[in-house]
Amino acid sequence: MPRKADTLDETASGLLAVVGPLQRVLRKRAREDWPLEPLATAQVDLLRAVRMRSGITVGEAAAELHIAPNTASTLAQQLVAAGLIARGPDPDDRRAVRLGLTPAAERRMAAWHDRRQQVLDAALHRLSPADRAAVAAAVGPLRELLEALER
C-alpha cells in the first residue's frame, strides 16, 4: 500500500504536469481566431487585479501581483495608452491615483472569457461522459486548493 506522502507527491507532480500546459494550450487555442492584438501576461494580470479591486492604487497592485512598483506603473501607463485603464484621483489623498477599468476593457475581458469558455466547452465535449463528470467533480477541490495556495 502506498504511503500517504508518496500519493501526495504524485498528485502534486501530476498537477504541475497538467496545470501550466493546460493554461498555455487554452491561451493558444483561444488566440487562434482572436481579432485583437494579444496583451502581455503581465498586462492581463494588472487588468484582473483592477477588475477585482476597482480603485486600487499602482502600489497596491504591485504588492498584490508581487512586482516592483515601477513595473506596475509602466504596465498601468501602457494600459492607459491602450484605453483599457483609467486613472482617477483618490478622494481622500490628492497625491494618490486610483485605477479603474474602462468600458473597452470590460468588453474585451468579457469577450476573452467567452472565447476561452467556447474553447473549453469544445474540448470537454470531446471527452467521454465519465471523464467530463470527473473534471466537473474536480472543480470544487481545485478551487479549495487555489484558496489554500493564496493563504
The residues spanned by each domain of the chain are 37-101, 103-151
How far apart, in whole angstroms, are the C-alpha atoms of residue 85 and residue 103?
Answer: 9
* Predicted model pTM: 0.77
Helix, coil or strand: residue 73: helix
- What does the alpha-carbon distance between residue 122 and residue 61 come to, in Å, rounded to a whole number? 34
CATH number, domain 37-101: 1.10.10.10
- How confident is the model over 112-136, as pLDDT tens digits? 999 999 999 999 999 999 999 999 9
- Given a cut of 70, whether residue 2 has pLDDT beyond it is no
Query: Which is more confident, 19 or 95?
Result: 19
Band of residue 1 on the pLDDT scale cut at 50, 70, 90: low
Return mean pLDDT, the chain.
Answer: 92
Q: Please report which confidence band the pLDDT of residue 92 belongs to, taking 50, 70 and 90 as the band edges.
A: confident
Could you give the angle at the alpha carbon of 61 between the alpha carbons of 35 and 116, nearest 5°?
30
pLDDT tens per residue, range 9-49: 899 999 999 999 999 999 999 999 889 888 998 999 999 99
Provide the CB-side half-sphere exposure for 61 (13 A, CA): 31
Using DSSP bridges, classify how beta strands 85-89 and 56-57 pair: parallel, antiparallel or unpaired: unpaired
Mean pLDDT of 61-74: 96
Average pLDDT score over residue span 143-148: 94
Per the DSSP assignment, residues forming a β-bridge with 89 are 97
